[in-house]
Amino acid sequence: MAGKAAAPGTAVLLVTANVGSLFDDPENLQKNWLREFYQVVHTHKPHFMALHCQEFGGKNYETSMSHVDKFVKELLSSDAMKEYNRARVYLDENFKSQEHFTALGSFYFLHESLKNIYQFDFKAKKYKKVAGKEIYSDTLESTPMLEKEKFPQDYFPECKWSRKGFVRTRWCVADCAFDLVNIHLFHDASNLVAWETSPSVYSGIRHKALGYVLDRIIDQRFEKVSYFVFGDFNFRLDSKSVVETLCTQATMQTVRAADTNEVVKLIFRESDNDRKVMLQLEKKVFHYFNQEVFRDNNGTALLEFDKELSVFKDRLYELDISFPPSYPYSEDSGQGRQYMNTRCPAWCDRVLMSPSARELILKSESEEKVVTYDHIGPNVCMGDHKPVFLAFRIAPGAGKRWQRQQRALRETSP
């Protein structure tokens, strides 16, 4: 009997991971995190792999530098990655620059079997062949192989020391050109403020920032190509709707600060059953009595409250979500499935794409599952965020149209 033929096309793996927790507790978390990550690499065997990290280095970057170096060295030299003979690593380590620091880290790995891979030079406006392994860090603004921006301070004035922004690279793989954008959007500063309006004020801030990024990557400076945007979008469930649904039969008690009369706590109690507390809501507390609602059937009953992407439905596409909310998991290394009682669980970490990028993904004609959209480490502590990945194959011949476009441009240029 003939052996199973390799699936056609070029295998691609896109991973997003907010890794801040890994550097706050490296001894307990990094080993497990890497093991789970390598397992996904082994399962999907990508030819081209991108790992977009947010909060790289953790909350205290200066004290975490040695852990950062160890993590990068491990990724580049481990046995699990030995078949990836070319790599590009871009680390924003300029933590002393309040104006520029984003704490983003982008890793790109190319399998030894992959030929003729090119990366775009944004300054020279041309593609360059990728060879060897190179690490770029500190001041990424001077690196022509990427574009990086931190969002203006006035986007989120509540946060004096925000590290939110994006990094963009452009690649040509299997004759297909596409942008890969590592992004980190603004969080909800207060559960109480998020609960006040629907949609929340924070949702509006994220909408503005994401719109800015999308406008930026399709402006007139460069040729338009397909794009994948993956990172920590900090998308949250519509808090007011979720609370109304979870606490339909509850009565609400409002607790105010004695000196300012400001609301500091909301307590939702069952109308009967000895007035049992169902939900306690504070600035940084979201304590619901039954966490199973977020895990049952992967929390999909709550997807109706995941509304932030809907305003971009003509510009961004996402595969169906079939994994539980990716945040906020317990950072206790012995807890793999437990959520922290700090925020309402939500699908913060996503892999999104342009409509034209969707066309690059090979849809299998057989029953074999070629495209996978899932999270990593479902039963293992991966920090407060579970990494999320998209594995797919670029269809054979999908790049021919792109090649024709490039040829036409060269023939018409002076």
410: tokens are: 């060269």
Please name which of 192, 206, 282, 288 lies closest in space to residue 240, comparing C-alpha atoms: 192
Start-to-end CA distance of the chain, whole Å, equals 57
The token pair at 133 is: 């392994």
**Structural class in CATH, domain 10-237+290-394:** alpha beta
- Are 195 and 147 in contact by the 8 Å Cβ rule? The answer is no
CA distance 222 to 16: 25
Going by the DSSP 8-state scheme, the letter that residue 301 receives in this structure is G
Alpha-carbon distance of 282 to 264, in angstroms, equals 6
What angle is formed at CA 361 by the lines to CA 359 and CA 366, rounded to 5 degrees? 115
The token duo for 372 is 């996978």
The two beta strands, 48-54 and 10-18, are parallel
What's this model's pTM, rounded to 2 decimal places? Answer: 0.94
Q: Which residues touch 124 (CB under 8 Å, ≥6 apart)?
A: 144
Question: Domain segments of the chain: what residues?
Answer: 10-237+290-394
> On the CB side of 183, how many CA atoms lie within 13 Å of its CA?
28
CA atoms within 13 A on the CB side of 35: 11
* 372 sits in which H/E element: strand 372-375
In one letter, which amino acid is 152? P
pLDDT tens track, the chain, 414 positions: 333 456 778 999 999 999 999 998 898 899 999 999 999 999 999 999 999 999 999 878 778 878 899 999 999 999 999 999 999 999 998 887 878 889 999 999 999 999 989 999 999 999 999 999 999 997 798 999 999 999 987 787 666 667 899 999 999 998 999 999 999 999 999 999 999 999 999 999 999 999 999 999 999 999 999 999 999 999 999 999 999 999 998 999 999 999 999 999 999 999 887 789 999 999 999 999 999 999 999 999 999 999 999 999 999 999 999 999 999 999 999 999 999 999 999 999 999 999 999 888 866 544 456 899 999 999 999 999 999 999 999 877 777 655 565 555 545 555
What contacts 13, CB < 8 A, 6 or more positions away? 40, 41, 44, 46, 48, 49, 50, 389, 390, 391
